[in-house]
Each structure stands twice: as C-alpha cells, then as structure tokens.
Amino acid sequence: MNTTVEKQADNIVKVDITIPAKDAVNYYNNAAKHISQYLNIPGFRKGKAPRNIVEQNIGEERIKHEALENALPKIFSQVIRENEFDVVAQPYVESYDYKIGEDLKITAKLELRPEVTLGEYKGLTIDVEAYKTPEDALQKSIDSLLQQHAATVVVTDRKTKADDTVVFDFEGFVNGEKIEHGDAKNYTLDLAHSSFIPGFAEQLSDRALGEEFEINVTFPQEYHEKKLAGQPAVFKCKINEIKSKVLPELNDEFVQKIGPFKTVDDLKADIQKYLDNQKADIDRTNSEKAVFEKVVSEAKVDIQQSMIDREADQLVEEYKQKLSMQGFTWEQAVEAQGYDKIMADLKEDAAVRVKNSLVIDKIAKEEKITVSQSDFNAKLAELGSMYHMDPATLVKQLSQTPGVFNAISQQALNEKVTEFLAKNNTVNLK
C-alpha cells in the first residue's frame, strides 16, 4: 500500500491511498463470497455460487461497496499508524477508483487533533478571593435544623400567616376561560416556600378557615406555556385547613435526640466544623479553577469548527436530558428561548470544553500523566457509590452507552491533571 499525504486547512489531511491490484481483487472476491451466503440463487447452495453468478444477481457495485466496508477499517488503521496521525474523528472516503484487475485508488480525508502550544503552566502565583462564610451561617444552620424537626399542628382559631401551610381548593381562569390543569382540590402549599406564580402565595395569607375568595396574578413573560405567558389570571380559592409549625426548644435534651451530642455547645461545634470544612472545600475548588483557567488562557490552539460542532451536538443531547428530568421538552425550550439563542450558548460552551480538553491532554502528554487501571476502578467505585450500585451491575449498565468508558477515563485524567497543576502552582487566598 502506498500513500501520499497533503495537509489542508482546519487540521485536515488528504490521503491518496493506492492498494495493489492483487489485494483489491482479494477484497472483492471475499466480499462476493460473503454476500453469496445470504442469496437464494436457483441451482446453487448458499455460499457456493461462482463470482460471476453473484455479480449477475446483485451487480459489481454492490460487491465493491461491501469490499470497501470490510477493508477500510484495516486500511485506515495502517495509514494512521504509519503516519502517526492523531485523529479526532472517523476518516471518510472522498472518492475511489475501483476497477477489477487494477490498483484500487482511494482518496480519504482525516481530521487531526489541533496542535496546542502551552504557555507557562508551572510555577505560577495567582491571587484568588477567599470564600467568606456568612456571619449568620451558624445561626441559619441551627434554624434550619429546628425547622426540620418542627411539629405540624392544625390551627382553627386564627387566620393564615405567611409561614403557614394551607390546604385549599383553587380554580384558575384567563380571560374568563378555565385554565387547563389549572385547578385542584385539597392542595397543600407551604406559603413560605411556594413555587407558584409570583404573588399567589402572598394572597393566601390573612385568610380565614373556610373563606372563599379570588386572587389576581399575572403569569411571567417567560412562562413555559406560551398562551399563558404574560396573561392576567383570576383564581377562585377556598381555605380548607391551616397548619402551623411548632419549633422544638434548642436545649441539651433536643440535641441528644437528633445526634451524637450531649450539649448544645457540642452541636454548635459540629456545625462550625462543617462550615470550616465547607470553606476549605470552596477555597480549594476556586483555587483549582483559577489556576486551570489561567493555564488555559495562556495556551494557544487553533480549533477547527467541526470539533466545536460535534461537542455542541453532545451538549444538545445533555440539555435535552436535563430538560426531560425537569418535566420540559426541547420544543418548549426552543419556543421559549429561540433556537438560535440556545445553539449560540451551547456552541460557546462547546468551544470552552474542547479547548479545556485539548489543554488537559497536552499537559498530560508533556508530564507523562496517565490513567491507570486503579484510577479507572476508583472512578467506577465513586460512580457506584453515587448510584448505589455494585461494580458489576454498574459496568453492565454503563456498557449499554457508547463511549461512556472513554468519558470516565477522560474525567479521571482531568482530575489528575488538575491535581498536578494545583501542586505545581501557588495560590494566594486574599
């Protein structure tokens, strides 16, 4: 096999490949034999018909296509190996000249990984703003803990308050027409933590048990149902039940019930330790991010648009999954935000992700950082713990998704490079 390589724009190389006639005929004959095993030709058992009979039934071009499909993976593998190409996409055939008895000529194009020129990535000193734990964080943590252990009691002798939970009936109307799925009976709503239309929960406050009334609200302009977006609405409501939270008293008896504490001071010390660890984690994450962003900003790389487009396609699929988990569809998102806006944002994110990945791979190559089997197994164990699966079940499930193991390996490599950069650079927390 002979090859001629021509470098083109956008990290593309054109390769002219010449396969000797003898090998080309062998490809052809093997393909004809393989196809004949699936043909019903009168007078011949499957797989026993001569080549010329097979050609008469399906034509030479069909056999040539089969021959190329079978031969190209091996041919491309040899071309990549001999030329030490670092490809980032599947090679594709631009044209071919396949005449039986003559050399097979193939013109293919391969997309190569862009060359990355690193700037300084070791010995840097970077100032990073230190995370400041809010002064009221300890008290808020205690308040939240008391809320979690609050008792709920039914109230009958007063009107609703802004921090009550109410059970009520409602029926919504826009322009006099009933809103589809805009009604409910005995619906429970925490007034202090409502996700209803802005202004809805507030108007349920100061209402008496059994009171029937109307409230007026306006749907947000960005509401996911376009026919309701920005529309004024009227909801007919009736209060069926009022519930109030009674907080426990913060004392030694209470803290002994909820954890391994003897006194209130023990609880406060434990919360403070958590807050201190949280600050350390945030400072570490921010420091690693600052170092990495500095290193990436100093790197020079000319990324072809095709790489960004492929990454954007992947982000689209991730975005669709995220929408589905939130109860929305891609079509609803497009209608609300506009296709061009969504794609512009995703392509911007894709460009960042591609450059980050290229820089990580370059540093890993320069510093001989690799992912060992133990590194990979550690990531699997981490995922198994996250999803409460044993390793065997996790591997079986993950194997159904193409490319997932490569993604896990890349994530492990990202973490090792990030750790390397953190150790080899200095951060001043200001």
Helix, strand and coil content of the chain, in percent to the nearest 5, comes to 50, 20, 30
Residue 106 predicted with pLDDT over 90 = yes
pLDDT band at 300 (very low <50, low <70, confident <90, very high): very high
| Contact (CB, 8 A) for 166 and 191 | yes
Residue 353: burial class (beta carbons within 10 Å; 0-12, 13-18, 19+): middle
The residue among 54 and 135 whose pLDDT is bigger is 135
d(CA 249, CA 266): 16
Residue 40 CB: number of other CB atoms within 10 A? 9
Tell me the whole-structure pTM to 2 decimals: 0.74
- Sign (positive/negative) of CA torsion 381, 385, 386, 388? positive
Residue-by-residue DSSP string for 212-251: EEEEEEE--TT-SSTTTTT-EEEEEEEEEEEEEEEPPP-S
pLDDT band at 36 (very low <50, low <70, confident <90, very high): confident
Two tokens at 370? Answer: 């690799």
d(CA 171, CA 180): 10
In which residue are the tokens 């003898």 written?
Answer: 22
Mean pLDDT of the 250-271 span: 96
Which CA distances in Å does 2 have to 16, 27, 284?
8, 17, 54
pLDDT value at residue 47: 65
d(CA 121, CA 426): 11
| Contact (CB, 8 A) for 411 and 111 | no
Sequence-ordered list of residues with C-beta below 8 angstroms from that of 381, at least 6 positions apart, any chain: 391
pLDDT value at residue 145: 95
In which residue are the tokens 């993604």 written?
Answer: 407
Residue 156 predicted with pLDDT over 70 = yes
Mean pLDDT of the 53-68 span: 85
pLDDT value at residue 388: 86
Residue 316 predicted with pLDDT over 80 = yes
pLDDT value at residue 279: 97
In which residue are the tokens 């194997």 written?
Answer: 399
Two tokens at 225? Answer: 């149902």
Domain with CATH 3.30.70.1050 in the chain: 2-113
pLDDT in tens, 382-409: 888 888 888 788 888 888 877 788 889 9
Of all residues in the chain, the percent with pLDDT exceeding 90 is: 79
CA 391 to chain centre: 22
Angle, CA 423 vertex, CA 422 and CA 429 arms, to 5°: 55
d(CA 128, CA 144): 31
CATH superfamily of 2-113: Trigger factor ribosome-binding domain (3.30.70.1050)
Q: Amino acid identity, residue 203?
A: Q
Fold (topology level) of 264-429: Trigger factor, domain 2 (1.10.3120)
pLDDT value at residue 33: 87
Q: Which of the following CATH numbers is that of domain 151-246: 3.40.50.720, 3.30.365.10, 3.40.50.800, 3.10.50.40?
A: 3.10.50.40
Backbone angles phi, psi at 400, to 5 degrees: -80, -10
pLDDT value at residue 209: 97
Residue 39 predicted with pLDDT over 80 = no
For 51-69, b/e burial (b = at least 16 CB within 10 A) is: bebbbeeeebeebbebbbe
Domain with CATH 3.10.50.40 in the chain: 151-246
d(CA 79, CA 13): 12
Average pLDDT across the chain, whole number:
93
pLDDT value at residue 86: 94
| β 125-128/426-429 pair status | parallel
pLDDT in tens, 164-199: 999 999 999 999 999 999 999 999 999 999 989 999
Two tokens at 366? Answer: 């320069």
